């Protein structure tokens, strides 16, 4: 089954689930672009924000005055109707939204995190995946990646990042991070090897986009 000229696969993920690695496998197999931290670099370049500042505020909910009212109350992700804050997480989010829309209009790609599923919610040919796993399975992966030295530290790290990602996603969208109804397909990465999961996702995407084009 042929895929459209332009389509986007978004991947949300719990920390340590391997969602980013799965996204890379999918993108490499399909020969399309892969964006995770790249989004930060491009957003910083195009918006004039300092790269270090963008990285330090990646996927973080606003804490200052500019973030008192959730963006999901308005319609920013599909159209900005006010002046963007000159600095802070809100300005980073605006820059990322702009760049994600540019990507969707220009090339097929995989985008990891950054509430891309919500940002692109009004566009066709967008498939939204969420990768998760039990906490201990995620903690073991975190240890294998060298990001923690023991299981307790890895669990704490996973919980901390998951809380941060949930707060970010829930603040900027009208959906719930990790809730099955927020995505097209949710997968437990502890149930199969990542390369097998990537093949499954590609098969699903082909079937899904073929069905939507009828």
Segments making up each domain of the chain, as ranges: 8-212
Q: Once rounded to an integer, what is the mean pLDDT over residues 108-119? A: 95
According to DSSP, the β-strands at 33-35 and 8-13 are unpaired
pLDDT of 28 > 80? The answer is yes
pLDDT tens-digit series, residues 88-111: 567 778 888 888 999 999 999 999
99 with 39: CB under 8 angstroms?
yes
112 with 20: CB under 8 angstroms?
yes
DSSP 8-class letter at 3 = P
Residue written as token pair 């760049």: 99
Query: Confidence class of residue 63 from pLDDT cuts 50, 70 and 90?
Result: low
pLDDT of 71 > 60? The answer is no
The pLDDT value recorded for residue 144 is 96
Give the residue with greater pLDDT, 183 vs 1: 183
Give the residue with greater pLDDT, 59 vs 178: 178
**102-119 as b/e: b if 16+ CB within 10 A:** ebbeeebbbbbbbbbbbb
Write down the mean pLDDT value for the chain. 84
CA distance 15 to 131: 9
Class of domain 8-212: alpha beta
Q: How far is CA 212 from CA 120, 147, 187, in A?
A: 16, 41, 21
Give the H or E element holding residue 129: strand 126-132
172 with 12: CB under 8 angstroms?
no
The pLDDT value recorded for residue 90 is 72
Query: Confidence class of residue 210 from pLDDT cuts 50, 70 and 90?
Result: confident
pLDDT of 75 > 50? The answer is no
pTM beyond 0.75, yes or no: yes
CA distance 11 to 186: 10
Among 39-53, 130-144, 173-187, name the one with the lowest average pLDDT: 39-53
Secondary structure (DSSP) of 37-61: HHHHHHHHHHHT--HHHHHHTTT--
pLDDT of 76 > 50? The answer is no
Give the residue with greater pLDDT, 178 vs 214: 178
Among 20-29, 53-62, 75-84, 92-101, name the one with the lowest average pLDDT: 75-84
Q: How far is CA 24 from CA 38, 139, 169, 201, 214, in A?
A: 12, 21, 22, 12, 29
pLDDT of 174 > 50? The answer is yes
């Amino acid at each position: 089954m042929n895929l459209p000229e332009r389509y986007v696969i978004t991947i949300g993920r719990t920390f340590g689930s391997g969602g980013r690695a799965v996204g890379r496998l999918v993108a490499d197999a399909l020969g399309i672009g892969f964006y995770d931290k790249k989004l930060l670099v491009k957003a910083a370049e195009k918006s004039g924000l300092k790269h270090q500042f963008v990285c330090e505020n990646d996927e973080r909910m606003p804490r200052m005055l500019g973030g008192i009212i959730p963006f999901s109350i308005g319609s920013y992700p599909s159209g900005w109707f006010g002046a963007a804050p000159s600095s802070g997480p809100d300005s980073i989010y605006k820059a990322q939204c702009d760049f994600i829309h540019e990507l969707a209009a220009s090339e097929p790609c995989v985008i990891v995190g950054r509430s891309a599923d919500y940002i692109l919610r009004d566009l066709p040919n967008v498939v939204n995946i969420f990768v998760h796993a039990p906490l201990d399975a995620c903690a073991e992966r975190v240890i294998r990646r060298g990001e923690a030295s023991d299981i307790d530290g890895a669990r704490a790290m996973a919980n901390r990042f998951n809380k941060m990602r949930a707060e970010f996603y829930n603040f900027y969208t009208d959906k719930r991070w990790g809730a099955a109804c927020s995505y097209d397909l949710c997968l437990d990465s502890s149930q199969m090897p990542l390369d097998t999961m990537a093949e499954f996702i590609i098969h699903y995407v082909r079937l899904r986009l073929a069905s939507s084009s009828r």
